[in-house]
Structure 1
Amino acid sequence: MKINGTDLAVEVDGSGPAVLLVHGLGGTGNFYQIQADALASGHQVIRVDAAGAGRSGLRDGITVESHADDLAAVLDELGVESAAVVAHSMGTLVARSFAARYPGKVTALALLGAVAEPAEAGRKAQHDRAAVLRSEGTAAVAPGVVANAVSEETRRERPEVAAFVRELVMRQDPEGYARNCEALAAATDPGPIDPALPLLLVTGADDKVGAPAVSEALAAAHGKATVEILPGVGHWTALEAAAEVTSLLLKFL
């Protein structure tokens, strides 16, 4: 689908109230395959590979805000007035920006492994990762992603999950991944989430990227959010705790 001048990979399954699934850095729409299959029995499930990620094309000027604008344009192209939005990792910043920029298009937010605006050390780390991607490719960063963002319990008990995370990262276009790292490095807080918007926050107790404290702070600011902290789970929430996340989403949506 041609969106804002870039070819984006968009998948639509099922029928019913729309649910938009937004992946994070290093991910694709396939991150949500298990949840998409379950939700499609009663919802129109929309998955978009962000610009520079997965099967989507590359463009200059990738930012959190440009990703949010792409989501709005995808809904318009599909003739969908509004959707519940499920987002992961960097995608939670995109989803929050989307809700702030297009409040009429968002009916509910479910944030998995929510992340905050990066601190200076985090910004530098993303720029450093972008440099490595450009010089050495995805093989140079995939092991670190698995080691740092997948919990020890998951790596030990469900190694196939760690293998899939590695595959998601390895399949990225290095330049597209690098530009998305730079977009995260430049990200700023999208502002408060509308207290009238239903909000679900799910994160792993062992998440070192989207630490539980981030979700708890967002919930406190919102005032009416539901927070679920999953034991033994790292940052790749929907893969590491697929059944639990699916159940929570079905209940929330």
Structure 2
Amino acid sequence: MTVTTSLAQPTELTSIGTKDLFLETTGTGPDVVLVHGLGGATPFYDPLVTDLAGNFRFIRYDFNGHGRSPLSGELSIETLAEELAEVIRTQTTSSKAHVVGHSMGTLIVQQLAATHPELVDKIVLLGPVRAQPDQAKAATRARAALVREQGMSAVADAISCGATSDQAAGHNRLLRPLVRELLLGQDAEAYAQACEALAAATNPELSAITSPVLLITGDEDGVSPPSLNETIAGELKNAQRHTITDIGHWTLLEAPDFVADYLTTFLQDT
């Protein structure tokens, strides 16, 4: 196992089960595995890793077909959860970890926690989602068809502007360009398959999750509105939640200091 204590970039992919994934390990302390969302990649977590590498050992990876990980085999929430399970088994110091997910990544984390509770300590969900309603499923499948036909440039501007708040973008002029860059860096076919996996997702059983869970969203998050977070928290056995004002769906990139503070307090609380 290679441990990186700085933000130096790995030069090779890491074999995880039958897949080769881009994976970075940074910092010292309790293991925290970071799972990005649809259209994301490991740089999504740069603010967290930069601020907290002295407190935690972060393991972040590009899931199958995203970022710098090549597409291999079937894409579904279930297969991505098994991929995450293998990351925890092979890359952590004790085969158990805190797990953080964003957006679609929160579904992957929910599935993992419901089916492999022995691998999970505490959970942090950023902009958490559940299985999509029918109208959203249709829109997600239409997005898959659009990027297959026209490439990632067909959706990058709409997502980077529509899923972030104007106030957050005003405070950080690089916010929307960074989100756009993450989207444009995706392979169109792999992104389309991930869209189809999201549209086909069913709800992991929240009552089976025994780990403590922290939910964080923004009051302008149209994908993960505060009302949805309240519903999710109500179905979990041990949950707390925070709503950050004036941010949208790219939670960490829009409010890095708030997320870092909430996460640190939650994970270090005994």
Map residues 16-35 of structure 1 onto 2, 5 A cutoff.
16-35=29-48
Q: Following the alignment from structure 1 to structure 2, what is the Cα–Cα distance between the partners of residues 118 and 236?
A: 18
Deviations 1:191-240 (A, max 9, x none): 11556421111000000111111111111122542211011000000000
Verify: 1:39 aligned to 2:52, yes or no: yes
Query: How far apart in 2 are the matches of 1:116 and 1:128?
Result: 19
Q: Are 2:262 and 1:248 equivalent residues in the alignment?
A: yes
The verdict on how the C-alpha distance between 1:181 and 1:202 changes in structure 2, with shifts beyond 3 A counting, is: same
Matched, 1:115 2:126: no
| Corresponding residue SS for 1:203 | strand
Partner of 2:228: 214
**Which of residues 47, 60, 71 is equivalent to 2:84?**
71
Is the 1:123–1:186 Cα contact (8 Å) retained in structure 2? yes
Q: Does 1:237 align with 2:245?
A: no
> Percent identity over the alignment?
40
Query: Which consecutive unaligned segments of at least 5 residues does structure 2 have?
Result: 1-13
Query: Unaligned regions of 5+ residues in structure 1, if any?
Result: none
Distance in 2 between the 1:252 and 1:223 partners?
16
- CA distance in structure 2 between the partners assigned to 1:251 and 1:28 by the alignment: 25
Instruction: Tell me the residue number matched to 1:52.
Output: 65
State whether residues 21 and 48 of structure 1, in contact with CA within 8 Å, keep that contact through their aligned partners in structure 2. Answer: yes
Task: Report the secondary structure of 1:25's partner residue.
Answer: coil
1:1-253 pair list within 5 angstroms: 1-80=14-93, 81-194=95-208, 196-253=210-267
What value does the CA root-mean-square deviation take over the aligned residues? Answer: 1.3
Change (3 A) 1:185 1:91: same
In the alignment, is the contact (CA less than 8 A) between 1:203 and 1:210 conserved in 2? yes
TM-score by length of 1: 0.96
CA displacement, residues 12-31 of structure 1 (integer Å, 9 cap, x when unaligned): 11222110111000001110
Q: How many residues align?
A: 253
**Would the aligned equivalents of 1:90 and 1:115 in 2 still touch at CA under 8 Å?**
yes
Cα distance in 2 for partners of 1:168, 1:195 equals 31
In 1, are the aligned partners of 2:67 and 2:186 still within 8 Å (CA)?
A: yes
Q: Which amino acid aligns with 1:135?
A: E
Give the secondary-structure state (helix, strand or coil) at the position aligned to 1:20. Answer: strand
| Runs of 4 or more above 6 Å deviation | none
C-alpha separation in 1, matches of 2:193 and 2:247: 28
Structure with bigger RCO (C-alpha 8 Å, 6+ apart): 1
Maintained 8 Å contact 1:148/1:208: no
Q: Aligned equivalents of 1:5 and 1:57: distance in 2?
A: 12
